[in-house]
Every structure is written in structure tokens, then in C-alpha cells.
Amino acid sequence: MARGRQPAVRRTPALTLAAAALALTGTALADRPVQADTTAKPRGHDVSSYQGKVNWKRARTDGARFVYVKATEGTAYKNPHFKQQYGGAGAAGILRGAYHFARADESSGKAQAAHLVRNGGTWRGDGATLPPALDLEAAYGKTCHGLSRAGMRGWIRSFSNEVRRLTGRRPVLYTSTRWWRTCTGDSAAFARTHPLWLADWRGTPGPLPGGWHARALWQYANKGRLPGDQNLFNGTLTQLRKFARG
């Protein structure tokens, strides 16, 4: 995912959606290692302002079945390409959701959640809209955003509670196992209620963050056939649609 306001290629792994799929859809998703070049699971990607205007018809032809689009960051930034990216994906028949780049060093989780929902991070149970996602990674050189582990856990909880209040869904959490262990103390407090979007670019997904026994999404590369970062959903296309419906 995007690391900041200016277009940039991310160098740190991203978050996981899997446990939430288990908790929110009741569907048991396999946690077997998945090769990055597999075609057995729905393929997707995530984009930000760095990708600019996306050719969604081509992305669909190239295999995209879902996408996460960066909507916001902090409490001021909005992706200037969000309307074309989010709306275009939907028009092409690609399931889409919006994500927020966390700036826990700037303002509260509640305030940033509200900013996301006001600017595209909504959810509808139409089977085409994925729940909002929270991008948790280092921000501008601050690995843990200047917060203690307890402080970070509280910030995530605040963000999550506000997203649920405003949309009816808990957010998907995008993170790497290393970041989660470092910045939350490998907390297991979120695994039962939040889908995991795991960032791991090593070819097969490694250990999961605390509490999660499965991932919903796996970001396995920062470039590939589709625009932006490359992802797989850990289930079938039917399960992906059920996950979208909530």
C-alpha cells in the first residue's frame, strides 16, 4: 500500500483479512501455504494516487476480481484519483473497498475513521463493496508512530469502534507480522473480530500475527500483472462475495 501522501512504492509488507472472514462470514478458509503464482484463489490488488488513472477494463481482463483503493490518510489527505479508481472498479464488475493509511502520530483513531468514512470508506451489503481497511505500517520513518504498544492498541481500537459505529462493519486490518509484533506486542485482542490482510512478499505466507489462525487476504508482491500491489483472497469467489455482503 501507499506509504504516504505523495505517490510512492511501498517497501514494507501489508495487513491481513483472514480471521475476520472466519468471524464475520462463518466460512472456514484454508490456511495452507499458497504459492504466489496460484490461480486457484481470486486475484486482486490495491492502488493509490501513485497508480493514477487505472484502466479497469484491462485490469478485469487481466484477472482482477477485487481491489482496495486508498481513500484517505490522517485527517486532511484525500486521494485525488479516488473517484476514478473506486468508481471505475465498480463499473468494471470488480469488488472494491476503501482503505485508510494510519497516522497515529497525528490524531485520534476516531477522528481518522470519521475522515475515511466521509470520503469514500463506506460499506453497503450489496455484495460488491468490501469493508473498509486500515493500513498499519511505518509512517514517515516512525515504525510505531511514536506510540507505546498499549497506545497503539488503543488507537486501533478507537478507529475500529468508530468505523463500526458509522458503517456497521469492523475494518480489515492490513499489517505484517513483524510490524504487529513490534508495535502492538503481538496482541491477540483483534483477531476474533477483524479480518486479517497479511503483507508478506516471500513467496509463501509466513507466521500470522497474534491471535489469527487464518488470513482473509494476502499481499504477496508490490508489483505484477495488475496495477499496484498484488493480492489473493484466501477462499473462493463465492466466499469473497459472501465476505463483501457481511
CA distance 171 to 58: 29
Task: Please identify which of the residues 46, 73, 162, 229 carries the catalytic annotation.
Answer: 46
Which residue in 52, 5, 23 sits closest to 227, CA to CA?
A: 52
Q: Is 137 a catalytic residue?
A: yes
Task: Please identify which of the residues 62, 126, 137, 186 carries the catalytic annotation.
Answer: 137
Q: Is 46 a catalytic residue?
A: yes
Residue identified by cell 476480481 is 65
Is-contact 35 41, C-beta < 8 A? no
Q: Is 135 a catalytic residue?
A: yes
Type of residue at 43: R
CA distance 236 to 239: 5
Task: Please identify which of the residues 37, 126, 135, 229 carries the catalytic annotation.
Answer: 135
Cell numbers standing for residue 139 = 509512517
**Counting Cβ atoms within 10 Å, is residue 27 exposed (0-12), middle (13-18) or buried (19+)?**
middle
SS (H, E, C) 173-188: EEECHHHHHHHHCCCC
Query: Active-site positions?
Result: 46, 135, 137
